[in-house]
Chains A and B, each alone.
Chain A
Amino acid sequence: MTTSDQIQPTETSNLPQPGPLSWLRFSLFWLVACGLAYPVVTTFTAGTLFPAQANGSLITRGGAVVGSGLVAQTFTGDQYFIGRPSAAGAGNDPTNASGSNLAPSNPALRERVAATSAEIAAREGVPASQIPADLVTASGGGLDPHISLAGAAIQVARVARVRGLSANRVRELIAANTQSGVLGLGQPGVNVLRLNLALDAAQ
């Protein structure tokens, strides 16, 4: 912002410029600075400030690591809340994280949804029209740790019955393990792994 609008074109410079050797030196310097120095300094600082989060938000029970608060686990037993379908490997496999990538027009999606929907309807004793969409759809990464509040609500009766707990007690535990975004961001979700751990602890 030092010069005013130039009316006359300036002289074209033809000064000799650094050649290919300088290009190489410049490139190598930034490959190392951005590829090694930056990640090492950043990772070390972040790991020092937030050690629990930096290591994968692990959950321990009795000293043993039983999962991550950010990664879904597969539950099938009637005493547990059951999470969303997963397209990650054989289900909830973080080394094969994936969505289904099935288009709404793909008959394979409809077949999969129909099977899941029938399974849930039988297990919870509700009509298909009451099953929330998140319980029959695979998440984007295949590791979604949450189900919707409605998705938890239709499972309350079964879990309470199998465990011999009151429905209200189960609802309290759901509320305690519901995570909501600050400032009204996103959607509230029930963390299935944390909820099931709380259920095990409640007995």
Chain B
Amino acid sequence: MDIFLTYALAFALALPLGILIARLFSAPASRFTSGLLRLTGVDATRPMNWRQYGAALLGTNVLIGVAAFLLYSLQGGLPLNPDGIPNLRWDTALHTAASFITNTNQQHYSGQNSLSYLSQLVGITALQFITPAVGMAALFAVLRGLRGETNVGNYFLDVTRAIGLLIPASFVLALLLTSQGVPSTFSGAKTATLIEAQTVEGQAVTTQTIPVGPVAAMVAIKQLGTNGGGWYGPNSAVPLENPTPLSNLFQSVSIILFPVALVCAAGLFLRRRRFGVALIAVMSVMSAALTLGAVLSERQPNAALSGLAAASGNMEGKEVRFGTDATALWGAITTQTSNGSVNGMLDSFNPLGGLVPQLGMFLNDVYGGIGVGLINMLVFVILTVFIAGLMVGRTPELFGRKIETREIKIASLVILLQPLLVLGFTAATVALPSITANSNPGFHGLSQVLYEYNSAYANNGSGFEGLGDNTPWWNVTCAVVLILARFLPILGPLAIAGYLAQKKAAPETSGTLRVDTPVFAGMLLSVMLLLQLLNFAPALVLGPVAEQLTLSSPVNTGATK
């Protein structure tokens, strides 16, 4: 029921939202948008070419990243710090800034107690709005290029349009979540007197501290903006952050809402509805397969319980109110969409259930992160057009424009960056056990390391959280992966679109390779799966697959003990 309602509601809302987005980015600036722009004091009337657009995107992101880094590094002496929280260490501040400027929300600092209110609001929540808006803006710049426009839009106008959508949507979701029990207050933590006093290490404990805060406002944009970074450490598994099965439905739908809506919007914006439908179909096939895999895996008992409890689904790291299905569903969609929030602990999933999030992040465009997921998909479309063109001996072209050496070089670089960074750093880290800091032994330890870099590259932010990752090695290497994996896959495709737009378009004829047919969709699916399988199958066999195989053998299940 959770699974059906999540997909049904997300698609029912995504279509009208997609239409709205396509209109918003096609029409001249509305009065609302112009008003917002006037407040920023930036002249956003002049159209930009792709280089100017890319420069403005990179420039503002560098400035915001530096501002966030300074904020975390100096928070101890800044206002809105009632609890006297000290500055973040330089490497933690660097990683946190890189993580939040890239829409990733990977958190290496420990818990809620490391950030002041100012850092939490301006350094985290604001970036959770700005970064998805940047992704959406970049997508529409690429789409304009693909429409043949060398003026790819105005960056400041596009970002403002996107934030103008995200704020009201988050406001509504925050109210819905509060109605279910997510805290919304600026007052300090509450103290409760325990019903039954406890003794902990010889000390009597009679009270319980219940941390509250402006949680709902943050959780709303965390989900709608494919961000994922939560208020409480264990994210939406904590009942205060996700109190009921209904709040869980709201949040699950929000995870995929904008990513799906943007694919609808792209089809309309390109005036190629059938192409949009083909993309949605390819993505949905993969999404359904991944979700099904996770659900079936988590319905299996946890091997550690065999003989010690009644056989039922794997409940380690899961909440009773959600059960295994809704948790497996969340694990699958949060990693397909670059969201990275969790409502159960992925580290404790059964091995094959833990494989599903890894696959979702390797693909990273099954709906994908806001804007960037679809851009990733378009790179695969270009590659597939190229391969298909070679197979039939025709010059590859997309929407009438020839794809030539320069475009394919850029696309290949963008695609090859992923295995290079993810596998390269994983190999380097496991080669030096002293820096690995994994908490689980054996094959699962390799999975933990692979997961961390995979999550960094996918700008996802979820983790096998047992990893002791707040060290200079982890912080610096992850920051490098995060930044390269965010900006090169945006700027590369922007350049491709810019170059394509400068080319003369040939009218489509019966000889044109069509990209909106089921045959092409099948081709696209196979190219993506084959490529990612070739890249990552060996690492996955050594990690989760090996773990599953050892668990299945009777010697290791402990059943004989």
Contact = CB atoms under 8 A, between A and B. Distances in A.
Interface of A: 1-2, 5-18, 20, 22-36, 38-43, 45-47, 49-50, 53-59, 64-71, 73-77, 80, 84, 90-107, 109-110, 113-114, 117, 128-148, 150-151, 179-187, 189, 193, 196-197, 200
5 contacts: A46-B174, A93-B209, A94-B211, A105-B440, A193-B195
B177 to A, nearest CB: 8
Contact of A36 (B39, B122, B465, B504): B122
Nearest to B239: A70
A47 B175 CA distance: 9
B214 A42 contact: yes
B239 A104 contact: no
Contacts of A57: 181, 243
Contact of A137 (B63, B128, B240, B305): B305
A41 B216 CA distance: 12
A104 B42 contact: no
A46 B350 contact: no
B150 A43 contact: no
Interface stretch (B47-55, B389-397, B418-426, B472-480): B47-55
A90 B122 contact: no
Contacts of A71: 208, 210, 239-240
A42 B222 CA distance: 14
Contacts of A95: 111-113, 189, 209, 211
A55 B187 contact: yes
Contacts of A98: 233-234
A197 B195 contact: yes
A99 B46 contact: no
B185 A128 contact: no
A9 B184 CA distance: 52
B541 interface: no
Contact of A189 (B41, B186, B320, B347): B320
A94 B411 CA distance: 47
Interface stretch (B197-205, B254-262, B487-495): B197-205
A49 B210 contact: no
Nearest to A109: B304
Contacts of A186: 2, 244-245, 248, 321-323, 326
B551 interface: yes
Nearest to A111: B304
Interface stretch (B338-346, B454-462, B532-540): B338-346
Given A23-B63, A42-B214, A94-B209, 9 more contacts: A27-B63, A46-B216, A47-B178, A49-B175, A56-B190, A99-B344, A106-B441, A140-B327, A185-B245
Most buried by B among A55, A105, A145: A105
B432 interface: no
B305 A31 contact: no
B192 interface: yes
B208 A92 contact: yes
B195 A67 contact: yes
A34 B167 contact: yes
A168 B271 CA distance: 66
B442 interface: yes
B312 interface: yes
B321 A189 contact: yes
B541 to A, nearest CB: 16
Given A70-B240, A104-B551, A117 B309 contact: yes
B174 A42 contact: yes
A73 B59 CA distance: 49
B215 to A, nearest CB: 9
B42 A25 contact: yes
A178 to B, nearest CB: 11
B196 A80 contact: yes
Nearest to A83: B320
5 cross-chain pairs, A with B, having the tightest CB-CB distances, nearest first: A181-B245, A186-B245, A140-B237, A35-B126, A101-B466
